[in-house]
Amino acid sequence: MRSFVVPLLCLTLSYGLPLPMTSFAASPEAVHGKKGMVASRSTLASQAGIEIMQQGGNAVDAAVATAFALAVTYPSAGNIGGGGFALVRLEDGKILTLDHRETAPGASHRDMYLDAKGEVIKGLSTHSHLATGVPGSVDGLIRLLEAHGKLSRQVVMAPSIRLASEGFPLTYNLARQFKRQLESMRAYPASIKKFSRDGAPYAAGDIWVQQDLAATLRRISVSGRDGFYQGRTAELIVAEMQRGGGIISLEDLAEYRSLWRDPVHGTYKGYEIWGMAAPSSGGLLVQQMLNMLEPYDLASMGWGSAAAVHLMVEAERRAYADRAEHLGDPDFYEVPAVMLIDKAYARQRFADFDPARASDSKAIGPGNWPTESQNTTHFSVMDSQGMMVAFTTTLNSAYGNKIVVPGTGILLNNEMNDFSIKLNTPNQFGLIGREANAVVPGKRMLSSMSPTIVTQNNQPVLSTGSPGGSTIITTTLQVIVNVIDYGMSIEDAVSLPRFHHQWRPNVVFYDRYALSPDTLARLKQMGHQLAPQTWYARGIGDANSILFRDGLIHGIKDPRGDGIAVGY
């Protein structure tokens, strides 16, 4: 195992972070530990989670510390101005899910992004104040901590406040991101102030201090959810809404509440699969696709073979067609969840599968009973008592709508684009939506986030998930299949290249090296349309995952992005 003691020692000297009494490694080699593990997109955020564990915290304490730290150290997706989902396995094996997805403001309405002719107004749902949903992250994190954490809010939030107030040296990747975003932020002085030196780009190694964000975090640390949803922070958010033509009100903020929901629960080849229920589409679609795959021997087909890829693509095609028709906020629309994860329904849905030919997406509609979302981040946490947290959080696009609320350091989300702003019109990820996901005040927009926990015989096995908009679900599926069907180590299961299909457009996108020339030729013969993915420079997904095997916690930071897994 490669040791990274010197770099971590530098972090300890700079920020006062404790040094784990173990050597650890970044991908492609997994990190191993017995007491705890955090795998996230940010080295500093992972270390913050471990710091809290070493102070006596459990996996929930560590997850909340990691999430707040990500808002400081990975601002393109880590946030307190967005929302997400948390999946938690308690020490006794019970699985809980917390929905802290954003909601539509009270003044929103179904056609708010359409012109007089009923056409979509370009950019209104992605690059304006109207694009912002009522944030849920802070309420979710505080509620999760109060329900299942062990340490105080002040202790758990201390690392994030320290990182914001004292600053940290920017990595090459972060400095490059900031530079690329500046032009799109020119109209927003608070954004330029936060992400540049008076308009000049930061460079790698510059110390980045965020005093406004530190003050906001302190208000939350002192007052809990009221430090965000009421008082000074809420007033500043609403003032910025009014200045920029947004519609979030003080009442919208005060009334926001995260929700405990029953998990999606299914089985696959002797394992139990636990996922997030609607308004996440991830838990339902992952289980539906696994149900379609279960009768087939993927291992004998071979990883990356034309037969295996064809099989998985056809399952994806049908599941995403169902997503467009059936999925939305269950508090506003009757989502047929029981149907979608029923194994008999999967058999019926897959009855027309042809092992030799690709289906035509135009001919694949949503199913019924025979008789009747670049930018997100995912992290995984596990402690020595078997408590696991799979946590996915987002602003939607990278840096949300690019708008920083003056005086707060908070980036606003552009999650309203995840609604079906016009029926059958693709969103920024190319996903189709219909009535189930139409805009309604107070409603939660549909999401692809897929935090997932796998267990066997009531014992923890896997925590996984990913960012990537519409590719989140297929990334999560492939990690699970790699572990269960192919018996891979966690580093191979996460690091190997991926492919993706989402019904429409009718194209199989694939990472470089994911498909051999022979496999590509065979898939084309079957009738598949194929294209190398180009929207993610380093590949599809960022599945920071944890596997519990042979009495050891194995953590991996997906090599497609920055960050690290830290264990002890």
The residues assigned a catalytic role are 376
SS3 567: strand
Torsion from C-alpha of 82, 87, 90, 93, nearest 10 degrees: 170
What does the chain come to in residues? 568
Q: Rounded to whole angstroms, how far apart are CA atoms 98 and 12? A: 33
> 211-223 and 231-244 are packed helices; what angle lies between their axes, rounded to 10 degrees?
130
Q: Which of 368, 280, 281, 264 is nearest to 316 (CA)?
A: 281
Consecutive H or E run containing 189: helix 189-195
* Cα of 106 vs its chain's centroid, Å: 26
Q: Which of 508, 512, 497, 487 is nearest to 558 (CA)?
A: 497
Give whole-number Cα distances, 55 to 20, 50, 148, 278, in Å. 12, 9, 16, 35
Can you spell out the DSSP letters for 332-374?
TS---HHHHT-HHHHHHHTTT--TTSPPPGGG------TT---
Give whole-number Cα distances, 291 to 150, 347, 458, in Å. 37, 8, 20
Cis check for the bond before 28: say yes or no (omega within 30 of 0). yes
Give whole-number Cα distances, 165 to 97, 177, 214, 430, 518, in Å. 32, 21, 5, 39, 54
DSSP bridge partners of 85: 99, 392
DSSP 99: E
Q: Rounded to whole angstroms, how far apart are CA atoms 486 and 494? A: 12
Encoding tokens for residue 537? 């420079």
Q: How many helices (H) and strands (E) does the chain have?
A: 19, 21
Q: Rounded to whole angstroms, how far apart are CA atoms 39 and 450? A: 16
Strands 410-411 and 404-405: what pairing? antiparallel
Q: Rounded to whole angstroms, how far apart are CA atoms 497 and 457? A: 30
Encoding tokens for residue 230? 């009421």
DSSP 34: S
Q: Rounded to whole angstroms, how far apart are CA atoms 477 and 390? A: 15
Contact 264, 330 (CB under 8 A): no
Consecutive H or E run containing 273: strand 271-275
Q: Rounded to whole angstroms, how far apart are CA atoms 5 and 255? A: 47
Torsion from C-alpha of 336, 342, 348, 354, nearest 10 degrees: 110
